[in-house]
Amino acid sequence: MSEIEPVEHLYGIESGRYDANDDWQPERVVAFRITKKTPRRIYYDADLYRGQPNIRFVNRQAIEDKGEITRRSGAWWEPDLQLYVKPPQTWPPQPGLNIARLKAEMAAAHPDRGGTEAEFIAARARYERAKAVTP
């Protein structure tokens, strides 16, 4: 009899959206099942709703070193644009976040000011999420 291997996941944040009943569904943490690990890559199923596998991969060393990674080929609306090894602990954002600080961090991360595109995308996502939940 073979041992059953535990299922591993990478985590992302799905932005808020309206469902089929026109009810607002707030942002939430979602889990992506890891399908395969190699020395260089981690493959995962990015499909959440269609029921058909959508296998993508990330650099294994980069995500294991930092605990998170921003996909270079990702779009801002994809919940796997920013992936985490562990579920984000501070989710959902708490009211009273310093919006001005997040906006300044976003501006500082802009490529025109010496940041990278990935850093800017991640900073903008943090700013937009905080702005959406702060009254």
pLDDT digits (tens, 9 = 90+) for 30-40: 889 999 999 99
pLDDT digits (tens, 9 = 90+) for 27-78: 788 889 999 999 999 999 998 777 788 899 999 999 999 999 998 888 888 8
Q: Is the dihedral of CA 99, 130, 10, 116 positive or negative?
A: negative
Tokens (6 digits) for 25: 């569904």
Residues written for the chain:
135
Q: What is the pTM of this model?
A: 0.60
Dump the DSSP string for 30-56: EEEEEEEE-SSEEEEE--SSSSS--EE
> Within its chain, how far is the Cα of 54 from the centroid?
16
Residues 6+ apart with CB under 8 A from 32: 9, 10, 11, 12, 44, 45, 46, 80, 83
- How far is Cα 77 from Cα 50, in angstroms, rounded to an integer? 16
pLDDT digits (tens, 9 = 90+) for 114-126: 888 888 888 888 8
Q: Spell out the alpha helix ranges (H) of the chain.
A: 60-66, 99-108, 117-133
Per the model's pLDDT, the better-predicted residue between 81 and 92 turns out to be 81
The amino acid occupying position 42 is: I
